[in-house]
Copies of this chain bind each other. A is one copy, B any other.
Amino acid sequence: MPKLGSCNVFLRATFGIDPGAEIGRQLGELATQVQVMRGQEVQTDPADTTLVFLASGATKLGAQASRERHQIVAFHFGGDIFTVPAVSMHRYMLIGLCESTLTTFPARQFYDRAASNPWIMRALLERSQTALFRCRDKAVNLGQKSAGERVAGFLLAMWERLDASEGPSPMIDLPMSRGDIGESLGLKIETVSRQFTKLREAGIIDTHGRSGVSLLDLPRLAEQAGYYDRNTVPPRPEWVERKPELVP
C-alpha cells in the first residue's frame, strides 16, 4: 500500500495508532496524499470541512473577503493538524509557503470512523482548541493593537513556532513574504516594512536578506508587542462590577 506512506507517519506519530490495525486501515482509506510547491493551492472539498495533517513544510490558510482583500487566518508548520472550513461566508484557501507534504481527510467521515477511539478524539479536540486559542489571540491583535505591536507580536510568535538558532540573539528564517505578514496582521505591505525598519533602527532586530531576522533584544521586542502584564496591570473596574453568586 504505497499510498499510505506518509499517512502511516500521521497516524503513528499523532495518535500512537498502528496503521496495520483495523482503525488505521479504515482511516488510511480516507487519506489523500498531496504535495505542493510554493504558491500552490491545496484542493479541498468546498462542501465539507477538510482535516489536514502537514507532514513537512509550511502553509498559509487564507480567507477571501472580496476580490482584492485576503486575510490569512493561520500559518501552519510541519507536524501541525488543522481543518480547512467548507465554503461559507468566505472562501478559504490553503496554500504552500514552500514545498510541503500533507495528508488530507474528509473531516466528517474521519470523525465517524475515529469516534470509537478516545485517543484520536482527544487529540483532535486539543488541536482544535489550540487553533481556537491562536485565533482568539489574533482577534485581539487585529482588533486592539497598533501596527508596531502587531509586527512585534508576530515576530515573537514566529520565534516560538519556528526553529530558532539558540543564543542570546536567536535568528529565525521567515518562510512568508512581507505581503503574507501584512495579510496576516491586517496591515498593508508598506506598513509592515516600515515597522521592520523601525525595529531595526531601534536595535531590537536585524534583517538578513528577505527572510532572515535576528532578534537582538527579546525583552524589548516583547515590550513593543504590548502584551498585557497581569502582574502590573489590574483589570478595568467596570469589567468586574460585582462578584457572582454560586447557586446553592
Do B230 and A71 have beta carbons less than 8 Å apart? no
Would you call A240 an interface residue if the criterion is a C-beta within 8 Å of the partner chain's C-beta atoms?
yes
Asked if A246 CB lies within 8 Å of chain B CBs, one says yes
Q: Is A109 an interface residue (CB 8 A)?
A: no
**Contact present for B145 and A65 (CB under 8 Å):** yes
Which of B96, B135, B183, B236 contacts A136, CB < 8 Å?
A: B135
How many A residues face the partner with a CB closer than 8 A? 83
A38 vs chain B, min Cβ distance (A): 8
Q: A68-B236, A233-B66, A244-B40 are in contact. Are A73 and B34 (CB under 8 A)?
A: no
Interface centre among A73, A74, A129, A244 (most CB of B within 10 A): A244
Q: List 22 A-B contacts (CB under 8 A).
A: A32-B246, A35-B246, A40-B241, A40-B242, A41-B239, A43-B243, A62-B239, A65-B226, A66-B228, A67-B233, A73-B136, A73-B140, A85-B133, A91-B230, A96-B244, A111-B122, A124-B125, A132-B135, A135-B135, A135-B136, A135-B139, A143-B183
